[in-house]
């Protein structure tokens, strides 16, 4: 193979590698945004974003004059500053409307855990931090299933189908009990789901399920119905 052909083949190989890495960077960027709305620790998204930044830097080592990569790098560096702000406003929303959406969300949480473990192995994250974040991810993993299933139960309960509602609440109870999360709040969550199952409550508390709270009108109606005659 001539020197020219070798050069052209190398360029094609570099271009393919860069394209693969760019797709992965896009996935990481989307993952950071998605996970940020699922977990309590605001720093987790920042570590995922840092993983994307490292990948762009690796691509620039292969193709240092690629203007598209430079723009992506600048965008990610700007996001790094945003993610680093612990006081930034965030909305936690774990409710998913379908089993497919739940499965996709759980996959993203698992992927976030793999990234954290990889960064810790590369000494870019200390062990104590990683363990703290993994505990947070496990808690979010459980709540995605619990909250989404409870919401389905509340939906059919509102239509008067109390038997199906009980089945959904029982399923949510199983998710909570069988999870590997060792969060100290789990027992309180299980007790609240028990109250739903036995019709002692209509909602999970705000700390567990802010996504589906009663409106003020519903609260007033409930208060009036519970008032003594």
| Distance of alpha carbon 135 from alpha carbon 147, whole angstroms | 18
* pLDDT(223) > 50: no
DSSP calls for 53-115: HHHHHHHHHH-TT-HHHHHHHHHHHHHHHHHT-TTS--------SSHHHHHHHHHHHHHHHHH
Comparison of pLDDT for 208 and 6, the residue scoring more: 208
So what's the pLDDT on residue 180? 77
- DSSP annotation of 213: P
| Distance of alpha carbon 121 from alpha carbon 143, whole angstroms | 28
Average pLDDT on 75-94 reads: 88
* pLDDT(60) > 80: yes
So what's the pLDDT on residue 117? 97
So what's the pLDDT on residue 7? 66
Q: How many CB atoms lie within 10 A of CB 219?
A: 13
* pLDDT(218) > 80: no
């Amino acid at each position: 193979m001539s020197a020219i052909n070798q050069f052209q083949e190398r360029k094609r190989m570099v271009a393919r590698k860069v394209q693969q890495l760019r797709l992965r960077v896009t996935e990481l960027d989307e993952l950071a945004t998605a996970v940020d709305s699922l977990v309590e620790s605001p720093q987790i998204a920042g570590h995922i974003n840092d993983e994307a930044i490292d990948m762009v830097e690796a691509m620039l080592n292969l193709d240092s004059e690629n203007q598209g990569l430079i723009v992506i790098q600048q965008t990610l560096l700007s996001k790094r500053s945003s993610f680093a702000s612990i006081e930034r406003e965030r909305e936690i929303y774990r409710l998913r409307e379908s089993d497919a959406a739940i499965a996709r969300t759980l996959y993203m949480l698992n992927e976030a855990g793999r990234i954290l473990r990889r960064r810790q192995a590369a000494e870019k994250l200390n062990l104590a931090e990683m363990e703290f974040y993994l505990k947070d991810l496990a808690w979010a993993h459980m709540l995605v299933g619990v909250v989404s299933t409870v919401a389905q139960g509340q939906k059919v309960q509102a239509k008067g189908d109390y038997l199906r509602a009980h089945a959904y609440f029982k399923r949510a109870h199983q998710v909570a009990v069988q999870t590997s999360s060792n969060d100290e709040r789990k027992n309180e969550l299980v007790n609240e789901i028990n109250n739903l199952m036995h019709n002692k409550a209509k909602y999970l508390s705000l700390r567990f399920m802010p996504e589906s709270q009663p409106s003020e009108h519903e609260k007033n109606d409930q208060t009036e119905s519970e008032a003594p005659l």
